Amino acid sequence: MKAKLTLNKSNIIAQIDDRLYGSFIEHLGRAVYGGIYQPGQKTADDMGFRKDVLDLVRKLNVPIVRYPGGNFVSGYNWEDGTGPKEKRPRKLELAWSTIETNQVGIDEFQEWAKRADTDIMMAVNLGTRGADEARQLVEYCNLDTDTYYADLRRKNGFEKPFGIKLWCLGNEMDGPWQICHLTAQEYARKACEAAKVMKWTDPSIELVACGSSHKDMPTFGEWERTVLRECYENIDYISLHNYYGNRNDDTPGYLAQAVNMDAFIRTVADICDEIKAEKKSDKTVNLSFDEWNVWFHSNEQDKQIPRWSIAPHQLEDIYNFEDALVVGSLLITLINHSDRVKIACLAQLVNVIAPIMTNDDGCWLQTIFYPFMHASVYGRGKAVSIDIACDTYDTEELKKVPYVTAAATENEAGEITVFAVNRSLEDSAKIEGNGFDGMKLISHTVLNCDDMKAVNSYEDPEHIVPAELPVADKVVLPAHSWNVLRYTKA
């Protein structure tokens, strides 16, 4: 197969917001307990944080981590995770039918974030709670005043405010599974009032309102319109969530899923602009795709988990090679929409639908770790428009899916990185590059495997790892592969 990639260097999509490569840690399964935090584990530091995990999170170069949920946040009392650990309550956690010990809360997580060189995207509970507790949490985290919640933080040992700049107004409040699910109008009012008092408490914060939990929600569209009409001037972003999976074992159809992400982003951006026009506003509301990933492998086994377990093996998808190609193509889509998508969070980071897995002895990397790391490390700077002319295929759901999908970025030194997925299961793609004059290819990294279902494991952690291809005059993307092509000025 031939594919023509035309790099339009003068056509810059956007300066990519670093937060496009965010991730997510929820109090769920073994993300926190046994994941980032495990006192007594051989690599645990003075606060019980696993240094082996911290090293890997730093390697991923994650700029921001959403916390503490997810569905969890809609029943969470943030005060439970502050102050002396021996006084913290054990509570029933209704989102995931587990027991929460509260040994980690914002007091600890803000310290973990510092050690991981990352920022926090903090979610407030708009399920069982509301504006009052949300503004109190903003005060606890961000204020230097001589007032009750700022003083409480000092009493708990933290003189300086945590300085959390990005906040989510609840989580997936459109979903009936959410603790205290709301209708669009109910959520819109609640979010609007919470937003006002949170910003009155700290005007420097940015706020993300809940959009739809996924593109096929029955209320998708009207939910966004209702929320934006009510909250437009008080919020900065609206969220998108979507998980993808190969439930019917239809690999060509599965590899095409990024086309759905693309349509989802375009539709939400259009709705934001429709409400902007309706309101005659100068302000643009941008998008926060703050939960995205593959999630389906663990669905059946999770039904067996006994209720009221503590940190069970939950949502522990083991990702195969084709999942890595899907994650790569989703990253390409996010980069190509970086003019509107300013924040995105790979959900999640450790053990729970995650690139990093742990056991008591150590860590291992899932297949999806690699495309995420490549994009996070090399995909900073500007997103440059790239056109692709190549053969297409039809799936049960979609017509004319291009075999090759790609995105390009340019860093401050003028180096170009092209990320490309070849979706063809049979054919390699010979690339004809246009617009690369004056550029020299310096490396071609590829993730490829004959077995689409092959996985990594603790016992065989390097079964699927990236390889360097020889730098050739003619670039060829192998069949079913993730590729990172790096160019410098000749």
322 in catalytic set: no
β-sheet bridge partners, residue 479: none
- Contact status: 348 vs ligand AHR (CB under 6 A): yes
- Work out which of 26, 79, 107, 230 binds ligand AHR, going by CB under 6 A: 26
End-to-end CA distance of the chain, in Å?
A: 28
CA–CA gap between residue 137 and residue 122 (Å, rounded): 10
Q: 172, 224, 230, 410: which one is catalytic?
A: 172
* Least distance from ligand AHR to the Cβ atom of residue 348, Å: 6
CA–CA gap between residue 449 and residue 344 (Å, rounded): 28
β-sheet bridge partners, residue 419: 407, 484
CA–CA gap between residue 220 and residue 211 (Å, rounded): 8
Closest residue to ligand AHR in the complex (CB): 70
* Least distance from ligand AHR to the Cβ atom of residue 317, Å: 11
- Work out which of 29, 63, 70, 435 binds ligand AHR, going by CB under 6 A: 70
CB 343 within 8 A of CB 207: no
- Work out which of 3, 116, 258, 347 binds ligand AHR, going by CB under 6 A: 347
Question: Which of the stretches 66-74, 159-167, 325-333, 357-365 binds ligand AHR when contact is defined by CB under 6 A?
Answer: 66-74
* Least distance from ligand AHR to the Cβ atom of residue 181, Å: 12
Which residue's CB is nearer to ligand AHR, number 134 or number 173? 173
> How many residues sit close enough to ligand AHR to count as binding (CB under 6 A)?
9
Question: Which of the stretches 64-72, 135-143, 150-158, 323-331 binds ligand AHR when contact is defined by CB under 6 A?
Answer: 64-72
**Burial (0-12, 13-18, 19+ Cβ within 10 Å), 125:** buried
User: Considering only residues 408-437, where is the footprint of ligand AHR by CB under 6 A?
Assistant: none
Place of tokens 């389906």: 296
Q: Which of 483, 334, 474, 490 shows the shortest CA–CA distance to 415?
A: 490
Which residue's CB is nearer to ligand AHR, number 239 or number 456? 239
Question: Which of the stretches 69-77, 226-234, 394-402, 478-486 binds ligand AHR when contact is defined by CB under 6 A?
Answer: 69-77
**Burial (0-12, 13-18, 19+ Cβ within 10 Å), 438:** exposed
* Least distance from ligand AHR to the Cβ atom of residue 238, Å: 15
291 in catalytic set: yes
- Work out which of 23, 171, 234, 483 binds ligand AHR, going by CB under 6 A: 171
CA–CA gap between residue 371 and residue 102 (Å, rounded): 33
* Least distance from ligand AHR to the Cβ atom of residue 173, Å: 10
- Work out which of 41, 71, 286, 405 binds ligand AHR, going by CB under 6 A: 71
Helix, strand, coil % in the chain, rounded to nearest 5: 30, 30, 45
User: Considering only residues 269-298, where is the footprint of ligand AHR by CB under 6 A?
Assistant: 291
- Contact status: 351 vs ligand AHR (CB under 6 A): no
Which residue's CB is nearer to ligand AHR, number 103 or number 298? 298
Q: Who contacts 186 (Cβ-Cβ below 8 Å, separation ≥6)?
A: none
Q: 93, 133, 139, 291: which one is catalytic?
A: 291
CB 167 within 8 A of CB 209: no
Q: Which two tokens stand for residue 198?
A: 């949170």
Which residue's CB is nearer to ligand AHR, number 296 or number 364? 296
- Contact status: 172 vs ligand AHR (CB under 6 A): yes
* Least distance from ligand AHR to the Cβ atom of residue 399, Å: 29
* Least distance from ligand AHR to the Cβ atom of residue 191, Å: 16
- Contact status: 69 vs ligand AHR (CB under 6 A): yes
Q: Which two tokens stand for residue 262?
A: 């693309």
Count CB neighbours of 239 within 10 A: 26
* Least distance from ligand AHR to the Cβ atom of residue 247, Å: 16
Which residue's CB is nearer to ligand AHR, number 136 or number 171? 171
> Which stretches does DSSP call E strand in 413-463?
416-422, 429-434, 439-448
CB 210 within 8 A of CB 226: no
Place of tokens 């291009």: 402
Q: In what order do the strands lie in the sheet with 416-422?
A: 467-469, 439-448, 481-489, 416-422, 404-410, 382-390, 2-15, 429-434, 475-477
Which positions lie near ligand AHR, rule CB under 6 A? 26, 69-71, 171-172, 291, 347-348
Give catalytic residue positions.
Answer: 172, 291
